[in-house]
Structure 1
């Protein structure tokens, strides 16, 4: 009885050692087991990325947030009247009472020209950095003749001496200098006018309102061009809302990776992007947008019509590390496949523990990559992590395979694989195409190498 149990045990052990099916099952099981540390590595990358975002938000809170500028808007108060009649029982007559209410008309300029100059830089805190900018925005334009008769508002009902100009912005904290409107020899100052009802863009659009306009300024607004200069410390993006009947914007910056966002794109003919920065021009006509030049009582939310530029890092270190880790299953699977083919073709025995050690070495690549990239650029981190893991596995393979022929082949294969993955994660538009072609070539190579293996034997 004992002899039969020993024989069965020996048969099972021999089957595990000699059977191709058994080795395939064992390798597949180990690949699945190694998905556990890979998932923890992905969680680590996500945690470090969240920490980076927290630091970026903290830096931006102190430096300045995104910039949206919306103005200038002419605010004209006017009188409206309601008449009520009450019946007097004693006199048997109706008494008429007229009540006067103050409403406001909001008038957009006839044309608005914006010239934006942006100087970008990075701010560091520990191992993390954030892209911020200082921008100088020059606004100029002109208002059309002030005529509200189309809305049955008489000139004598307009309170001309209470007219003001409004500028709305998402980044009141980031304004660097006092804001003045200049027109001919006249100058207007702006002050903060907080409005709890202006919740629109990133929480609140904060409002600046000018001092009252005198008759001279009102006349000059329709006959001469106004000029306003605004300087901001900001981050993330710069946008304006095209409230001019014709709105143009020219933007120039030293930022090499702009992303043009919003409802309108710059003109392709004048757009220029180089390593030293970019230049772009926009032109928006009133027929390009679905809102009016005049509003009464309240201005609707026009954020959907904003446009501008986002100052972004195309693929930061954590994004690259995350994309690289997504190929962890592929790297481990292909590496184990190479060892499996070598074991099957050369009849060299490789223990499951040795497969496990090789798999753990492959997962260490990603922890090395993340930790080193926090102190260096991604390419250097990728080279150091890749070379370390390839050398470690090549030397370990020498102790398993007993000669240099197969270990050198494994080292070259891993080098090609890591190079292939690096190329893929650097690409944006062609990542899927290059990845698909590469995987097809890998599959073709495996099919070619394994064509002479007798799969029926075991």
Structure 2
């Protein structure tokens, strides 16, 4: 009965430690929200996550058509009404690229990754204006050439647009579409005319963390490069090369391999559709060691730390007959939980590896000192400190080896179980529990 009671106490204390661990995870999520607020604040002043689409040639026209209408007397009659419509032409070829120059901006404790994109977009149009039907029933208006930019506040200087080698002045907006961007008006064509355009847009565009490019041409070639060493690519995987000097990436995308043109046409009737939600490709300048993600992952192993420590205590009580009070269990569990709070608070000021080292040394030193008295032996206290050092080292390996976290975690659990089984293989549990069953005589 005494053994069962002690096991129940250890189980209860282990579950109770989940309360401070969950509170610490709440603090981590709160700090993540603060960082998201810092990103939004910088995006408002510098330029948000950017997306670029275009150019697209839109030709509006008004057509008189015959429709059926019902009058007040329920008489159906045919009348002629003017309908406003438009033709949308996409580039035959589209070449977009340019270097992304990375930088950082600070808001309080938080650093946010930003960039300036020295972008260019070269496109070729061979748009044939339809000539079917009665020319008298159709009036063609002035077309516009439009470029979509997710956040025009990021434009660092006036963009330069050349059409057939001639500079033209850009205007705000995308023409008739309620979306951020730029456009230029062209002369009205005539039915059957081929609008042949060679366009080149040069711009300096600032953005926060990510850049998205929309492949609206029949044949698209995108090229990006940067000195940032940790890119994360979105959409179709590019041909890329990443090194200590940065990265280069290129995409070759045909219109038949993308839904971007269809997304764009549907977006004309749905202005709230964002450019970044289209079938696009892009790159994000990521932080390979996000301190809040790492700290949150570390707390998921917090219960394992507490459980292993309490199991070690339990075996000391069992084998060495050392009584350990539940309050002592609780204090040790709280010290283990405080490690994660120290980790996230220190990592906001120093590199994660140094924060991890400082937090682990502080907690292991405190526990080693305390347990030397609890276990009535300096050697036992140092032995427990050595065990905790091994656990913290294993946890750090799990955190920095994200791709191998599962196999490392499984191996650690197997090693712990094997150690427990080896240590307890000669224990007579019935004798320890004081309840040896009677042996039947033959």
User: Over residues 18-52 of structure 1, what are the superposed CA-to-partner deviations in whole Å (9 max), with x where a residue is unaligned?
Assistant: x3333222211111121111121111111111112
Q: Is the 8 A contact 1:41 1:367 kept in 2?
A: yes
- How far off is 1:185 after superposition? 3.7
Q: Is the 8 A contact 1:105 1:296 kept in 2?
A: no
Q: Is the 8 A contact 2:219 2:253 kept in 1?
A: yes
Alignment CA distance shift 1:289-1:108 (3 Å): same
Instruction: Report the Cα distance in structure 2 between the residues aligned to 1:159 and 1:102, rounded to whole angstroms.
Output: 10
- How far off is 1:171 after superposition? 1.0
Q: Is the 8 A contact 2:10 2:310 kept in 1?
A: yes
Q: Is the 8 A contact 1:183 1:221 kept in 2?
A: no
Q: Is the 8 A contact 2:175 2:183 kept in 1?
A: no
Q: Is the 8 A contact 2:146 2:181 kept in 1?
A: yes
- How far off is 1:297 after superposition? 11
Q: Is the 8 A contact 2:96 2:222 kept in 1?
A: yes
- How far off is 1:421 after superposition? 0.8
Q: Name the SS of the counterpart of 2:128 in structure 1.
A: coil
| Residue 111, structure 1, aligned to residue 93, structure 2 | yes
Instruction: Report the Cα distance in structure 2 between the residues aligned to 1:154 and 1:111, rounded to whole angstroms.
Output: 31
Alignment CA distance shift 1:174-1:361 (3 Å): same
- How far off is 1:423 after superposition? 1.0
Instruction: Report the Cα distance in structure 2 between the residues aligned to 1:414 and 1:101, rounded to whole angstroms.
Output: 77
User: Over residues 270-291 of structure 1, what are the superposed CA-to-partner deviations in whole Å (9 max), with x where a residue is unaligned?
Assistant: x101233111110111221244
Aligned equivalent of 1:306: 280
2:409 to 435, 439, 445: 435
Q: Name the SS of the counterpart of 2:366 in structure 1.
A: helix
User: Over residues 196-252 of structure 1, what are the superposed CA-to-partner deviations in whole Å (9 max), with x where a residue is unaligned?
Assistant: 964xxxxxx31322133488xxx9962x63211122110132112111110010010
CA RMSD of aligned residues (A): 3.0
Aligned equivalent of 1:62: 45
| Residue 40, structure 1, aligned to residue 23, structure 2 | yes
Instruction: Report the Cα distance in structure 1 between the residues aligned to 2:175 and 2:324, rounded to whole angstroms.
Output: 73
Instruction: Report the Cα distance in structure 2 between the residues aligned to 1:382 and 1:229, rounded to whole angstroms.
Output: 46
Q: Name the SS of the counterpart of 1:178 in structure 2.
A: coil
Q: Name the SS of the counterpart of 1:249 in structure 2.
A: strand
Unaligned runs of 5+ residues in structure 2 are 70-76, 434-442
Q: Name the SS of the counterpart of 2:402 in structure 1.
A: coil
Q: Is the 8 A contact 1:77 1:103 kept in 2?
A: yes
Aligned equivalent of 1:409: 383
- How far off is 1:193 after superposition? 2.7
| Residue 255, structure 1, aligned to residue 233, structure 2 | no
Instruction: Report the Cα distance in structure 2 between the residues aligned to 1:84 and 1:325, rounded to whole angstroms.
Output: 68
Q: Name the SS of the counterpart of 2:228 in structure 1.
A: coil
Aligned equivalent of 1:5: none
Q: Name the SS of the counterpart of 1:451 in structure 2.
A: coil
| Residue 177, structure 1, aligned to residue 177, structure 2 | no
Please, what TM-score do these two structures have when normalized by structure 1? 0.83
| Residue 190, structure 1, aligned to residue 164, structure 2 | no
Q: Name the SS of the counterpart of 1:144 in structure 2.
A: strand
Aligned equivalent of 2:208: 235
Alignment CA distance shift 1:112-1:322 (3 Å): same
Q: Is the 8 A contact 2:99 2:117 kept in 1?
A: yes
- How far off is 1:440 after superposition? 0.7
Q: Name the SS of the counterpart of 2:162 in structure 1.
A: strand
Aligned equivalent of 2:143: 163
User: Over residues 121-160 of structure 1, what are the superposed CA-to-partner deviations in whole Å (9 max), with x where a residue is unaligned?
Assistant: 22112211111111111111211242424x6586995647
Instruction: Report the Cα distance in structure 2 between the residues aligned to 1:405 and 1:323, rounded to whole angstroms.
Output: 32
Alignment CA distance shift 1:76-1:439 (3 Å): same
Aligned equivalent of 1:24: 7
Aligned equivalent of 1:287: 256
Higher mean alpha-carbon deviation, 299-308 vs 138-147, is at: 299-308
Aligned equivalent of 1:246: 219
Alignment CA distance shift 1:377-1:444 (3 Å): same
Q: Name the SS of the counterpart of 1:177 in structure 2.
A: coil
| Residue 135, structure 1, aligned to residue 117, structure 2 | yes
1:317 to 291, 301, 304: 291
Q: Name the SS of the counterpart of 2:361 in structure 1.
A: helix
Instruction: Report the Cα distance in structure 1 between the residues aligned to 2:45 and 2:319, rounded to whole angstroms.
Output: 64
User: Over residues 350-397 of structure 1, what are the superposed CA-to-partner deviations in whole Å (9 max), with x where a residue is unaligned?
Assistant: 222222221121111112112111111111111111001101111111
Task: State how many pairs are aligned.
Answer: 418
Q: Is the 8 A contact 1:107 1:293 kept in 2?
A: no
